[in-house]
Chains A and B, each alone.
Chain A
Amino acid sequence: MSRHLLSIADLTPADIEQLLRLTDTFAEVSRRAIPKVPALRGKNVVWLFYEDSTRTRLSFEQAAKRLSADTMTFSVGSSSVKKGESLRDTVLTIEAMGVDAVVVRHGSAGVPWQIARWLDDRVSVVNAGDGWHEHPTQALLDCYTIRAHRGSLEGLRIGIVGDIKHSRVARSDVLAYTALGAEVTLVAPPTLLPPSLDGWPVRVGHDLDAVLGDLDVVYLLRMQRERMTEHLVPSLREYADRYGLDVRRAARLRDDALVMHPGPVNRGVEISAEVADLPRSVIIDQVRNGVSVRMAVLYLLLGSGVDKVLGPEIAAHPERLLDLEPEGALQ
């Protein structure tokens, strides 16, 4: 893994597998009587959230605290952005205060890359969602949740249902699921699909009932009312009727099929209240696993030191290894 986590596309299947294995360790930490380790003591992580978020920010916050990192929140509502400060000035100001990682969410695609270019290469950037583009930690926690229930993603049939067009979760999920060997089918009305699906390694369907019985995982996306300025569906009620997972449809699922949702859930739209509470619905597991996955991400980027020794830079400059001589720090 490199210094930043910007996109699932930057990760090899082996990187993803390593991260999921490492997550097992942090899941164990989370189950302890005192779920806190000193691994990132003295590291400073700042949340730069230009868009609303409850669970992602709390989840990152919990992850950082369990690793003993210090955290600062920069939320736009109460900052000098309101006084007209540019993104670049904001980022450089935060950097000057001395931070080790910036976790950024922004309404525009590509902002985390831009921030990574502005910052000193000592600072890690984690993409916590950029526009309609990507949300890599969500995809990693989704993979971890599926793996926890089914052992592996290899050969699983996963249907992603709903507003694909506006969904950064769908983009990251498609990359991660297919990297790990799953077959992905997107199910949505044509108006909620991206204008082009060229190069997406997926199948596309418009009829949920036609594919429902074959799926190992039904991944329902939230209808993003805040992004729905154009009239893409006639009404939420009609959408629920054709694409919502209600009791009648849930009865047709395979016995071992999982129902997932990135949250927050619009009960009665994507999923009916009864189905959201069924045992096969692992929506709460996703939230719980999110903390462990984000611990693994923060630890890999800030603590593991793996990039120092195993990265290409060192391979090219083996003399730098002398600086890392452990002075017998091992047993």
Chain B
Amino acid sequence: MAERERRSTPPYGGVFVARSQVMDADDVRRAIWRMAHEIVERNHGLDGVVLIGLQTGGVAMAEAFAEALGEIDGTEPPVGTLDVALYRDDIGIRPVLPEAVTDIPVDLDGAIVVLVDDVLFTGRTIRAALDALNSYGRVRAVQLAVMVDRGHRELPIRPDYVGKNLPTRRDEMVNVSPSGVDLGELVKEAHR
């Protein structure tokens, strides 16, 4: 799970305790591979496609996509990273600090941007990301790829590529890593 989530969700700085594994490492790898094929199919190749991983959970996934796409299509698309902290709608309500410097290596004017994140939840991060993209130029299209769609949307946002639809309770947490997807809770260190 993204470090930002762990630090900024009560109990602050809690520890993620997994209750059940919903995808193992092979499932994650296969899901990346399938979504990569869907990206190529949907865009008739990779012409103009730029992958942008959202800090922090989407960055490693965007790199995994690039590698898979390179094998499928022969060329790896450019990969960038985006930190949406400064565009969030909860600034001043909760602690919001940028985790890393945004790095967009190519001009986004006319590009097809595939935003990549680990978990899609309320949709507020994606709303912020769409806003942030405007500062880099007018993109041709934005598509969204996530490993897990856990529901509870608060905005009219939907993913284009999904690894797994996972029904959850609001207070649960989803942890995505290359070694698998776990469902669990954030627990205060002392209560472990």
A residues in contact (CB < 8 Å) with B:
22, 24-25, 27-29, 32-40, 67, 299, 302-306, 308-310, 321, 324-326, 328-331
Q: Are A25 and B83 in contact, with the CB atoms below 8 A?
A: yes
Q: Are B86 and A33 in contact, with the CB atoms below 8 A?
A: no
By a CB distance below 8 angstroms, the chain B residues around A28 are 101-103
B96 interfacial by beta-carbon distance below 8 Å: yes
Q: Are B95 and A331 in contact, with the CB atoms below 8 A?
A: no
Q: How far is the CA of A33 from the CA of B134 in the complex (A)?
A: 9
Q: Are A22 and B134 in contact, with the CB atoms below 8 A?
A: no
B124 interfacial by beta-carbon distance below 8 Å: yes
Q: Are A33 and B135 in contact, with the CB atoms below 8 A?
A: yes
Q: Are A324 and B94 in contact, with the CB atoms below 8 A?
A: yes
Q: Mark B6-19, 1 if CB is under 8 A from A, else 0.
A: 00111110000000
Q: How far is the CA of A293 from the CA of B12 in the complex (A)?
A: 27
Q: How far is the CA of A255 from the CA of B121 in the complex (A)?
A: 54
B90 interfacial by beta-carbon distance below 8 Å: yes
Min C-beta distance of A23 to chain B, whole Å: 10
* Partner among B91, B121, B136 whose Cβ is within 8 Å of the Cβ of A305: B91
By a CB distance below 8 angstroms, the chain A residues around B101 are 24-25, 27-28
By a CB distance below 8 angstroms, the chain B residues around A37 are 86-87, 132, 135
Q: How far is the CA of A37 from the CA of B87 in the complex (A)?
A: 7
* Partner among B92, B102, B125, B134 whose Cβ is within 8 Å of the Cβ of A25: B102
A305-B95, A328-B152 provided; 18 other pairs, C-beta below 8 A? Answer: A25-B100, A28-B101, A29-B135, A32-B136, A33-B136, A38-B87, A38-B131, A39-B85, A304-B96, A306-B95, A308-B94, A309-B95, A310-B95, A321-B10, A324-B10, A326-B90, A326-B93, A329-B94
Q: How far is the CA of A38 from the CA of B127 in the complex (A)?
A: 13
By a CB distance below 8 angstroms, the chain A residues around B182 are none
Q: Are A328 and B91 in contact, with the CB atoms below 8 A?
A: no
B residues in contact (CB < 8 Å) with A:
5, 8-12, 83, 85-87, 89-98, 100-103, 117, 119-126, 131-132, 134-137, 152, 154, 170
Q: Are B87 and A330 in contact, with the CB atoms below 8 A?
A: no
Pull 26 A–B residue pairs with CB atoms less than 8 Å apart, ordered by A: A22-B98, A28-B103, A29-B86, A29-B135, A34-B134, A34-B135, A37-B86, A37-B135, A39-B85, A39-B86, A299-B86, A303-B91, A303-B92, A303-B96, A304-B97, A305-B92, A305-B95, A306-B95, A310-B95, A321-B10, A326-B90, A328-B170, A330-B8, A330-B121, A330-B122, A331-B119
Q: Which residue of B lies closest to A322 (CB)?
A: B10
By a CB distance below 8 angstroms, the chain A residues around B95 are 304-306, 308-310
* Partner among B10, B87, B122, B123 whose Cβ is within 8 Å of the Cβ of A325: B10
Min C-beta distance of B129 to chain A, whole Å: 10
By a CB distance below 8 angstroms, the chain A residues around B135 are 29, 32-37
By a CB distance below 8 angstroms, the chain A residues around B89 are 329
Min C-beta distance of A209 to chain B, whole Å: 41
Min C-beta distance of A308 to chain B, whole Å: 7
Q: Are A328 and B94 in contact, with the CB atoms below 8 A?
A: no
Known: A34-B134, A37-B87. A306 touches B97 (CB 8 A): yes
By a CB distance below 8 angstroms, the chain B residues around A32 are 135-136
